[in-house]
């Protein structure tokens, strides 16, 4: 569940971009990301997680950039930048040997369980599932931009299906491995 909380800044952006505009949605997502990082540092007294720090940087940089008239991307372009940034964060954590899912999974188990090879393999597979979902989302963003027959409605369905599949897999795989 804490893993899904890390996606709240992205959900905030998605919900607000059409209602308020790109810049206010990015500022709101930056604020939500900052709150998650502050919560980790000051309340929980833990090191902020990769996904939370990455989203703070991603949204902060985009919010700053959109303040300048020279950088006036379309809503779809900003969505593509956000989704590609999220994919980069996830892939970066995997290729660095510290999949972002591991930080959340370790909070739910004892150190003995976390030390098992099966635990690490499960976290790796879940991270790859999220990477696949975000790759599908980036492709959907590109299709909405460049393929006229790929409408926003179709794109939304594809994006939601990718997210739901990754969320389902995140809940299903650990239970299957435990059996």
What pLDDT sits at residue 2?
A: 72
- Ramachandran region, residue 97 (left: φ > 0; alpha: ψ -120 to 50; beta: rest): left
What pLDDT sits at residue 57?
A: 97
Determine the Cα–Cα distance for residues 60 and 76; give it in Å rounded to an integer.
18
- The pLDDT tens digits of the residues spanning 20-56 come to 999 999 999 999 999 999 999 999 898 899 999 999 9
pLDDT more than 70, % of the chain: 99
Residue 150: give the domain boundaries.
2-178
What pLDDT sits at residue 1?
A: 56
pLDDT of 3 higher than 80: no
Among 125, 124, 130, residue whose Cα is nearest residue 163: 130
In the chain, the number of structural domains is 1
User: Residue 167 to residues 92, 124, 126, 134: CA-CA distances in angstroms?
Assistant: 20, 15, 9, 12
- The pLDDT tens digits of the residues spanning 62-81 come to 999 999 888 888 889 999 99
- The pLDDT tens digits of the residues spanning 128-156 come to 999 999 999 999 999 999 999 999 999 99
Give the 3-state secondary structure of residue 123: helix
pLDDT of 18 higher than 90: no
């Amino acid at each position: 569940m804490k893993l899904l909380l890390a996606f709240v800044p992205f959900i905030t952006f998605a919900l607000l971009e059409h209602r308020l505009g790109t810049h206010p949605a990015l500022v709101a997502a930056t604020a939500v990301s900052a709150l998650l990082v502050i919560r980790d540092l000051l309340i929980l007294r833990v090191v902020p997680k990769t996904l939370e720090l990455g989203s703070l940087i991603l949204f902060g940089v985009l919010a700053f950039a959109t303040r300048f008239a020279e950088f006036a991307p379309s809503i779809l372009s900003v969505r593509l930048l956000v989704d590609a940034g999220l994919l980069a964060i996830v892939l970066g954590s995997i290729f660095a040997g510290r999949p972002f899912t591991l930080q959340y999974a370790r909070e739910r188990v004892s150190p003995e369980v976390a030390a098992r090879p099966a635990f690490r393999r499960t976290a790796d597979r879940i991270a790859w599932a999220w990477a696949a979902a975000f790759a599908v989302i980036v492709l959907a963003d590109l299709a909405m931009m460049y393929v006229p027959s790929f409408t926003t409605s179709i794109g939304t369905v594809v994006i939601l299906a990718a997210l739901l599949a990754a969320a389902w897999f995140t809940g299903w795989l650990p239970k299957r491995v435990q059996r």
